[in-house]
Every structure is written in structure tokens, then in C-alpha cells.
Amino acid sequence: MNTTACLDLMDLESNGHMGLDAGSGIQSSPIPAGYTVPTETPDKKWWSNAKELSTHSLAEVKMRAPRYIIRDKNGDGLLPEGLCVISGDPKASKSTILRAFLSIFTSGQDQLQAEGLGECLVLKFEDDEGSIQLPDVIANGGNPWRFRIPDSNCFKCSLKNMRQEALAPIAKFLSNHPRCKVVVIDVLSSILAEMGINSHSAEKSRAVLEPLNKLGLEFGVSVVVLHHNHKSASQNQLHKLAGSVQVAASARLVWMVEKHPENDSLRVIKPVGGNIRGHSKGLVFAQEKITLEEGLEIAKQFGVATTGDLSKLEFFKTCITDDPIPEAKEEEKGTGNGNLADQCAAFMASEVEVEGEVGSVEMEVMCLKKWTKGTYNRARILLKERGFRTVRKGDAWFITSAQPDQKGDSETGIATEGEVESKA
């Protein structure tokens, strides 16, 4: 059957007439009255009715540097214009560190750089205002009059529906308060829960976060969303963020707050993702308690009211330390005898030489008591270069200095890690 006949058959069938027998060519039912068999196929292209794409040249765009609302004392960016996510394990001091940032921002201290004294809008802080938030701000030298907190539930409808038009109350506030340059939402999970959104839903999470990013870019403010990590063994920091990957994808910059690997009393904040350049490499924080008398004196200077028994009130100051972030500290030691990976490798070699062989799990546990996971992994590479091998006996892996023979120790039932990988 030629092409025209095929088209005719399809056309008839689409109109409810099974009229042709493709095998015999016999017409089994008459062509309906008034039907005209098309003799030509239309020559109209499938895109003919589309509107022409409107474009502009990249050369027409005004070039400018990325804009940060708050920078560190070296001038590197911390909180960018648009959406910024600060994530970490529960009780990892995310809110505490952010309050320290904002306290410095509102008071003009020289630990950070900002364009003049600013204000911030705080939405849904989980911590109690009177016993946690306010003492933290006071202890860090912040001006509590520049922390704006919505009255009652005036923003409740906006937080439950993050469509662009639903953010009108926040947009109006920012328009009427041009000194407000930071909007804080603490925490993302509570907002999603109120909206009945599963945090693993990419589409719904994006519908919440993208309007916030647009709001920040339109008004030139940093919208900071605090977020939680989930329990993950992944070495990729972005994979530790709870919920959908859209949480990281929608943000211009993602920070991770965690304990310092070598000092439990310190906290580290490091960038782990984003599409904006010129950001800080990270900061290290320490907390110190100031006396009750000193805290109350600062509060009195700001005209802060007090009530009830204040004897149990505590003021903690969060200091930005001069210590480099852990990775930078290791790099500064160079490749000499003081290198942490070298020290870890030497420790592992001494253990193997004494015991003959040491279980891989046992060795890792011993090393992680003193060094970081990254240092341990680099030490494993150094150990291999020095002739040590990881072999398997049964279901367990062991680190040993014994060299496998030409047969790969097949007769003894020992396989090297490399051989197992190559067979896989």
C-alpha cells in the first residue's frame, strides 16, 4: 500500500470507519457521504504557530561583582544577596552562630564587614525570645532594637503559602524598612510541615524556596534559611542536607555548621555548595560565658526590660577565632615531618610492625580518635606507597606489611584490595 493509501486509512479510522482491508485491498464498508479523500499532505511545519523567541545579547547586561550583605574581615563573602542556606545537625549551633553574625551586623563591630549598620527580620526562631535569643544578642554586642520580630501571626499566611504574591507582607515590610538587609527563617522543616509538604518532594520544595530567592534579589537582601542535616554516612556534604536536593539547588550559597574535628568546644562553618563566587573559605567559632552583671549592664544600656528571677540567666558570647579551618591548618603544615597525614601513616605503620597485621576497622577507630577522616584516608594512600597492603581473610580486611606473592596469595586464600576491585 502506498503512502497516500496509508494516510487515507488512518484518516478513516480516526473518524470511526474501518473501511479498508490492508491484506486484500477490499473495501468492507462504504465511504461516508460528503467525505473527500485528501490528495495532498499538508506542508505546514510543526513549529509554524509558535511565537518567535525573544532574546538579548550578553553584551547588553551590566557587569558587576557578586553582592554580599555581610563579609568576613578579609572581605570574602558570607551572606549573599538572594537565598542562603545554613545547615547542620540538630543543636550544632546554627542559630547561635547566625545570631553572632547579625549582632555584629547591627552594631558595626569590626569582626565582619557590612555596608553600614543594618537591621534584620527574624521569622519563626525556634529558640525562646526572652531567655535565649535576647541574651545571645546582648552578649554579642548586638543592638536588639535592630532585630525585627513580627507580632503574633501577621506573617503566618505568608509562611504557609510561599507563592510570590503570598510574600506581599514581607515585601511591603522590606519596602518600608530599607535598612533591613537580612531576613531569617528558622527552620525550613517547620515551615514545610505547616504547609503539609514532604521535604523530599523536589517540586514542592522548589515552589517554597525559589520565591524567597527572587524576593532577596529584588530587594537586595539576604534571605537566610536554617536547615537540618539527616543521618548520613556520605562524604559529600551536600548529601547530608535533609529532604530534597532542591534545598541546595535553589540556594546561591550553602553553609555547613559542624563541630571542629580536633576541638569539641569549637564550631566550624564552611561553604559546601552554591553558584556564587568570592565567598569565604570558612570560619571557626568559640563560645565564652560573660558574667550576669556584665550582661545585665549591657541590657540596661539598650533599655531592655527585665522581669522575674534573673539569677539563672546566662549570657554567652560567640567569638570568631583566629584559627584556620581544619583543612587549611593541615595544608599550612606542608609535606614535611609535621604533616598530619604523615603522622597518621607513621602511627599505622608502627601498629602493623608490632602486631604483624591489624584489622582495618580497628585501625580506623584508633586513628579517628586523633585525626580526621580526610587525614586517615590520605594516610592510607601514603601507607600503600610505603609497601603496606590491605588484604582480606574471610569476611574481614586487615592491614599488613606482608607482600602478596606472584600468585596473588590465591593458595592462602588472601586477596589484595586491588585484586578484588579489578575482578568486580
CB 205 within 8 A of CB 243: yes
Question: What is the predicted pLDDT for the residue at 418?
Answer: 45
C-alpha 170/C-alpha 122 separation (Å) is: 11
Q: What span, in angstroms and rounded, lies between the C-alpha atoms of 333 and 422?
A: 36
Lowest mean pLDDT among 80-84, 221-225, 394-398: 394-398
Check whether 283 has a pLDDT greater than 90: yes
| pLDDT, position 338 | 44
pLDDT at 42: 65
Closest CA relative to residue 191, chosen from 180, 203, 199: 199
Residue 215 and residue 403: Cα distance in Å, rounded?
A: 63
What is the reported pLDDT for 262?
81
Q: Rounded distance, CA 80 to CA 17, Å?
A: 65
pLDDT value at 419 more than 50: no
**Is the sign of the CA dihedral 120, 125, 130, 132 positive or negative?**
negative
Q: Delimit the domains of the chain by residue range.
A: 1-46, 69-325, 333-423
Q: Quick check: do 69-325 and 333-423 share a fold?
A: no
What pLDDT does residue 38 have? 60
Q: State the architecture of 69-325 in CATH terms.
A: 3-Layer(aba) Sandwich (3.40)
pLDDT at 182 over 90: yes
When pLDDT is averaged across residues 135-164 and rounded to a whole number, the result is 74
User: Residue 330 pLDDT more than 50?
Assistant: no
CATH topology classification for 333-423: Arc Repressor Mutant, subunit A (1.10.10)
The rounded radius of gyration (Å) of the Cα atoms in the chain is 32
Classified as helix, coil or strand, 226 is strand
pLDDT at position 82 is 94
Asked if residue 157 has pLDDT above 70, the reply is: no
Percent of the chain residues topping a pLDDT of 90: 31
CB contact at 8 A, 136 and 103:
yes
Say yes or no to pLDDT of 410 above 70: no
Does position 99 have pLDDT exceeding 70, yes or no?
yes
